[in-house]
């Protein structure tokens, strides 16, 4: 009898334990209530965190609905769609909350933005740091309104090929070409400007050459005239008067100037012709080649079309 009386307090404690466990709220329930209180006072960051942790501990439809509502108010539209969709799938068809879920999904679908990645190059792509596999290219990817970054990297070296920064509004859709930009094309000179400059130089050079040839011709004639006068006025190499002496002096000068002017004129005229031919678009390839014959030697202008 004494032993029975001594065991009664311990038995009472054991009988009371299940009731105490049932009365105490679970951690998930406690976090859920904390989330509701935080959302009621507008502290969405704390509220969403509490709902997320409660859902991790206990997969309850009510927690999913409240988490979706918290994420929607926080601008995390894609996450809200995921949780409302999961909650709707878990509800019975006759549950009164089905209509609320459909209403929220319709509203969110109109607000969420979309990014479509397109390309056919062997590259890797990521959206906001998350890889986007090739099978997903070409399909709209739902994203929250706001800033986003698309990064394109080389498959072999993982080197960054391009970085695209986007800012999307609610309901906006944007396509991003994943083809990396090629090396910049070398700058090409303006063909018309170069041709015009070369042609002007051809005219100037050729004109100067013709002028030099004219000088050579004039001085050549002067040399012949001077030689005729000297022959008449200076027999036996002795000039009889001043006219003969002047003619001799003029002849000595012009006999030097004439061949020099002819040579310079010929060279400048040839250069002018070369510049003129090469200034024409598609005028072919032009060059200078040596020309040798039994009676002369010089340079020839050669053009191929």
pLDDT tens profile 147-203: 999 999 988 888 999 899 999 999 999 999 888 665 555 555 555 555 677 778 767
Which of 67, 31, 63, 75 is CA-nearest to residue 50?
A: 31
Q: Would you state the pLDDT for residue 106? A: 96
125 in the Ramachandran plot: left (φ > 0), alpha (ψ -120 to 50) or beta? Answer: beta
pLDDT band, residue 267 (cuts 50/70/90): confident
Whether 31 shows a pLDDT value over 80: the answer reads yes
Rounded to a whole number of angstroms, the CA Rg of the chain reads 50
pTM of the model: 0.52
Average pLDDT over residues 128-141: 92
82-111 pLDDT, tens digit per residue, is 999 999 999 999 999 999 999 999 999 999
Mean of per-residue pLDDT scores for the chain:
77
Which of 67, 6, 5, 2 is CA-nearest to residue 34?
A: 67
Pairing of the two strands 141-143 and 113-118: antiparallel
Tokens of 34: 């904390």
pLDDT band, residue 279 (cuts 50/70/90): low
Tokens of 281: 């678009």
């Amino acid at each position: 009898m004494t032993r029975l009386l001594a065991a009664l307090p311990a038995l009472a404690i054991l009988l009371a334990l299940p009731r105490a466990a049932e009365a105490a709220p679970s951690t998930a329930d406690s976090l859920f209530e904390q989330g509701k209180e935080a959302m009621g006072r507008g502290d969405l960051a704390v509220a969403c965190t509490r709902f997320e942790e409660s859902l991790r501990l206990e997969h309850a439809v009510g927690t999913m609905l409240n988490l979706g509502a918290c994420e929607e108010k926080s601008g995390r539209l894609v996450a809200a769609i995921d949780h409302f969709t999961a909650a709707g799938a878990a509800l019975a068809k006759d549950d009164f909350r089905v209509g609320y879920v459909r209403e929220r999904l319709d509203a969110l679908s109109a607000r969420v933005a979309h990014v479509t990645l397109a390309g056919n190059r062997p590259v890797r792509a990521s959206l906001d740091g998350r890889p986007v596999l090739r099978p997903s290219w070409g399909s709209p990817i739902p994203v929250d309104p706001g800033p986003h970054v698309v990064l394109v990297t080389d498959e072999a070296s993982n080197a960054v090929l391009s970085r695209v920064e986007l800012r999307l509004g609610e309901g906006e859709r944007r396509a991003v070409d994943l083809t990396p930009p090629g090396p910049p094309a070398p700058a090409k000179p303006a063909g018309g400007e170069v041709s015009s400059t070369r042609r002007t130089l051809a005219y100037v050079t050729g004109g100067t050459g013709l002028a030099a040839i004219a000088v050579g011709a004039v001085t050549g004639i002067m040399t012949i005239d001077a030689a005729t006068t000297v022959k008449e006025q200076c027999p036996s190499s002795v000039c009889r008067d001043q006219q003969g002496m002047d003619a001799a002096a003029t002849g000595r000068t012009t006999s030097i100037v004439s061949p020099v002017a002819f040579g310079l004129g010929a060279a400048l005229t040839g250069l002018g012709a070369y510049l003129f031919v090469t200034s024409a678009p598609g005028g072919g390839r032009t060059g200078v080649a040596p020309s040798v014959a039994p009676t002369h030697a010089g340079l020839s202008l050669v053009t191929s079309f």
